[in-house]
Structure 1
Amino acid sequence: MRVALESLRFVVIFVLMAVLLNFISFLMYYPIFGENAERYIGWTAFIGSLVIMFFLYRKKEWGKGVFNKQILFLSLVMVILLATLIPDFTPDHFGSDRFVYSYGFPFPFITIYSVVDAHFVIPNLFFNRGRGVNVGMFGILLNFLVFYFILRFILGKISKSSQMAEKT
């Protein structure tokens, strides 16, 4: 329960921070870039939110003793790898020339609106002039929690069986 609550606290503060930084970056970038400001607003707020969250968690010492760091890192790697390696072979058509791809396992959390019919996430994100990207924080949170609890259960069973083998 503590893991779920700590993860929920991170997501809520991160989303609020991203909204605040989106507003601030819009006020800063719109006079400079004009109509092209939308290209820079989202990523600037996302990276700024990650940096602020890192320092906030360090200063307040939130999350200490809640997460097993090895399982945390492994579950985050699994979320990223499975979203990267599992293709979307059945894209939805959005209009006549656009495709909508959803990535993430078991819950999709990245949606890419693309003109080119590429099934994997890497070509759609980096090598395609996509029409848009949507990242759902709730899907990332659910995937992280699923993998964290599964890995914690499996590694707990392995450590118990190794302790039982050492006793006999």
Structure 2
Amino acid sequence: MGETGKEEYKIQSFDIETQKLLKTALKDPSNVDLDKVANVIVDQSLKDSVFSKEAGRICYTIIQVNNMPMMALVNPVYDCLFRLAQHDSLQKEEEVDCLVLQLHRIGEQLEKMNSQRMDELFSLLRDGFLLQEGLSSLSQLLLLEIIEFRAADWKMTDAAQKYYYSEVTD
């Protein structure tokens, strides 16, 4: 594995042109059509739920390049998060974990860009937590933790951290 000094991303499943587009977006987002980048990422995420985690990492990196959220990515990222908040996805611990991880990473920034969509997303998550049957204990714990995390203004108290994450290891 060649060291490039930068984090490597799993984009080999894309054609050469799309790989080039994504690599350029990761290095210098101002030199690409971010709507096109966002559509590529969302389309692949919807086809391959495992890629959703990688999509979150890519979007996070693109956002960090300019040290501010990019409006072109906000709605596609929300679209992916909404997909992960659907009934069938909440049944899969890996997808709930991915959703919660992304909300921890970029939830606060996304809410600043579009609080209405965040309210809608958390309404889905709350309903999924309260009403959906068949959720695993870990999925329930993760959903409750992210609901509390947002309610605490995207901060985790030491007591909450100890409670939620000591439960996972028990």
The two structures share one fold, judged by TM-score above 0.5: no
Normalising by structure 1, we get a TM-score of: 0.27
Which structure has greater strand proportion? Answer: 1
Which structure has greater helix proportion? Answer: 2
Normalising by structure 2, we get a TM-score of: 0.27
